[in-house]
């Protein structure tokens, strides 16, 4: 449920109140930029996509009916802006998302007891994961980021991307499989090792 103050800002912004919209921007700018940065990697591209998302939000607010949460609607605009930018500039092969914990458990968790050799291996693995994500299409990278980084549910991702849940699940599954295969080929993932990914997919 939206905060009462947020609802007031949305209502006022729909009526053309720029100050109210500025409050909404301040409320969500960090989260939106975090999403665009993870999709675009390049801070300049991320800032451009975030700006396009907020511009689209301002222009589209009169038609915002509130069927979904404002944040869900805004994330959809941000995700679309990223995909459009990457396609337009032809940079999706150079844009890498961050590493996430589903394929590589505890990848981002520092271990003070780790040896220099362990740390070097983790750094190499992190690089391989990012390269693997960079090789994915924007469509597959965006669903992985929304699911694994932002921890959104399938229903939330469906609303953000305006896709049915079956398509979302299919893209996530395919993206995970492609990333896993990339890591296998790079020698940074053991095919014989038990996979929490397989366990997760088996439960869904």
Q: For the chain, give every residue range classified as CATH 1.10.10.10.
A: 97-204
Please name the CATH architecture into which domain 1-95 falls.
Orthogonal Bundle (1.10)
DSSP string, 113-149: T--HHHHHHHHHHHHHHHHHHHHS-HHHHHHHIIIII
Encode pLDDT of 31-81 as tens digits.
Answer: 999 888 888 878 898 899 999 999 999 999 988 887 778 988 898 899 889
Encode pLDDT of 67-76 as tens digits.
Answer: 778 988 898 8
Q: For the chain, give every residue range classified as CATH 1.10.1740.10.
A: 1-95
pLDDT surpasses 70 at 203? no
Q: Which CATH number fits domain 97-204: 3.30.1330.60, 3.50.50.60, 1.10.10.10, 3.90.600.10?
A: 1.10.10.10
pTM: 0.57
Q: How far apart are CA 150 and CA 34, in angstroms?
A: 10
């Amino acid at each position: 449920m939206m905060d009462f103050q947020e609802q007031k800002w949305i209502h006022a912004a729909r009526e053309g109140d720029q100050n109210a919209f500025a409050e909404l921007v301040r409320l969500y700018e960090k989260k939106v930029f975090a999403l665009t940065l993870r999709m675009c990697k390049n801070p300049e591209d991320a800032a451009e996509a975030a700006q396009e998302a907020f511009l689209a939000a301002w222009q589209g607010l009169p038609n915002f009916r509130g069927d979904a949460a404002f944040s869900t609607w805004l994330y959809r605009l941000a995700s679309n802006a990223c995909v459009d930018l990457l396609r337009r500039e032809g940079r999706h092969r150079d844009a890498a998302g961050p590493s996430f914990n589903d394929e590589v458990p505890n990848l981002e968790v520092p271990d003070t007891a780790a040896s220099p050799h362990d740390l070097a291996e983790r750094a190499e693995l992190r690089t391989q994961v990012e390269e693997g994500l960079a090789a994915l299409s924007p469509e597959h990278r965006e669903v992985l980021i929304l699911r694994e980084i932002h921890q959104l549910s399938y229903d939330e991702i469906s609303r953000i991307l305006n896709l049915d849940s079956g398509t979302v699940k299919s893209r996530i599954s395919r993206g995970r499989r492609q990333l896993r295969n990339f890591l296998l080929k790079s020698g940074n993932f053991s095919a014989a090792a038990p996979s929490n990914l397989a366990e997760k997919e088996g439960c869904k």
